[in-house]
């Protein structure tokens, strides 16, 4: 009996050390199916948009800025690969980054710092489009940027049949459209560049219809629904306080003290 009890206690201790929650079971399966990755870090994806200042003479300067920043981050967070795509439109940018949470927070801090500079010539009014957590795989195999020369269209957006819409779409629809197009573009790039020496820029030039239209980004930037990097970081670092049902008491302690 003592031996059985000891074995049971050892099993319980092992479960406590490893974890028995649904999260731990999920992580165990991921380690089993991805032994090469060894689950060094969870993969996240950050998508941000921003306006480009008129005084930005060469949009490649922003691409060079992120190239240098990515190199510094990869030296600091060794093993945390950074992949993604930076699209530089005539008036705005769309940036997709895949990496660990530490790297993405550092990128948001860099955006915040640039926004706080009184005379920043690289970006204006950056906004967080979406942050996706615990991704099963990467959408991009490397990080790169592309300068786009698309005509700026004034007026409403174009519908699928080519007719111009008079009314504007709501923010949720715009975000959903942008994300859907990005996912399709990422999957296309993954297939088109696999085993091919064709530059990424040439692949993008061949499928202009798959690139998120600049009009959608301009509309998103004009809304007040998206968080700035500063607002996102503030929410990220704020502790989450959840009031449990067991903490709800009636009458309140103050009322009891008054009655006595």
Whose tokens are 């301009």? That residue is 218
For residues 214-227, give the mean pLDDT.
93
Neighbours of 108 (CB within 10 A): 23
Quick one: pLDDT band at residue 59, thresholds 50, 70, 90? very high
101 vs 260, which has greater pLDDT?
Answer: 101
| Region of poorest pLDDT, from 73-82, 113-122, 241-250 | 241-250
Whole-prediction pTM: 0.73
238 vs 228, which has greater pLDDT?
Answer: 228
Q: How distant, in Å, are the alpha carbons of 49, 57, 115 from that of 122?
A: 13, 9, 9
What single DSSP character describes residue 164? B
Predicted pLDDT at 155: 40
Domains in the chain, ordered, with CATH? Answer: 47-149+168-236 (3.30.70.100)
Question: What are the φ and ψ backbone dihedral angles of 65, each rounded to 5 degrees?
Answer: -60, -45
Peptide bond into 251 cis (omega under 30): yes
Q: What is the tens place of the pLDDT at every residue in 25-58?
A: 655 565 565 555 544 568 999 999 999 998 888 9
Question: What are the φ and ψ backbone dihedral angles of 55, each rounded to 5 degrees?
Answer: -80, 0
Q: What is the tens place of the pLDDT at every residue in 97-116?
A: 999 999 999 999 999 999 88
Mean pLDDT of the chain: 79
Question: What are the φ and ψ backbone dihedral angles of 173, each rounded to 5 degrees?
Answer: -65, -40
17 vs 248, which has greater pLDDT?
Answer: 248
| Region of poorest pLDDT, from 63-67, 201-205, 225-229, 235-239 | 235-239
Predicted pLDDT at 29: 63
Question: What are the φ and ψ backbone dihedral angles of 251, each rounded to 5 degrees?
Answer: -75, 160
188 vs 121, which has greater pLDDT?
Answer: 188
Most confident residue range from 8-17, 74-83, 197-206: 74-83
> Does pLDDT of 215 surpass 70?
yes
DSSP string computed for 85-128: EEEE-SSEEEEEEEE-HHHHHHHHHHHHHHHHSTT-SS-EEEEE
């Amino acid at each position: 009996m003592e031996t059985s009890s000891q074995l049971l206690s050892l099993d319980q201790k092992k479960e406590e050390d490893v974890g028995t929650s649904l999260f731990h079971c999920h992580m165990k399966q991921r380690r089993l199916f991805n032994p090469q990755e060894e689950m060094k870090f969870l993969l996240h994806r950050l998508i941000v948009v921003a306006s480009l200042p008129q005084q930005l003479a060469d949009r490649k300067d922003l691409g060079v800025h992120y190239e240098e920043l990515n190199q510094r981050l990869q030296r600091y967070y060794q093993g945390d690969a950074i992949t993604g795509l930076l699209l530089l439109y005539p008036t705005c940018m769309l940036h997709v980054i895949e990496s660990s949470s530490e790297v993405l927070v550092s990128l948001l801090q860099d955006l915040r710092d640039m926004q706080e500079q009184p005379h920043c010539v690289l970006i204006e009014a950056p906004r967080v489009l979406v942050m996706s957590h615990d991704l099963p795989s990467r959408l991009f195999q490397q990080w790169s940027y592309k300068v786009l020369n698309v005509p700026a269209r004034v007026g409403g957006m174009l519908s699928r049949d080519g007719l111009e819409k008079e009314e504007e779409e709501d923010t949720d629809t715009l975000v959903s459209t942008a994300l859907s197009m990005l996912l399709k573009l990422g999957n296309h790039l993954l297939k088109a560049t696999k085993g091919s020496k064709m530059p990424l820029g040439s692949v993008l030039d061949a499928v202009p219809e798959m690139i998120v239209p600049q009009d959608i980004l301009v509309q998103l930037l004009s809304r007040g629904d998206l968080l700035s990097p500063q607002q996102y970081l503030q929410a990220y670092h704020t502790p989450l306080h959840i009031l449990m049902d067991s903490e709800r008491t009636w009458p309140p302690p103050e009322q009891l003290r008054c009655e006595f």
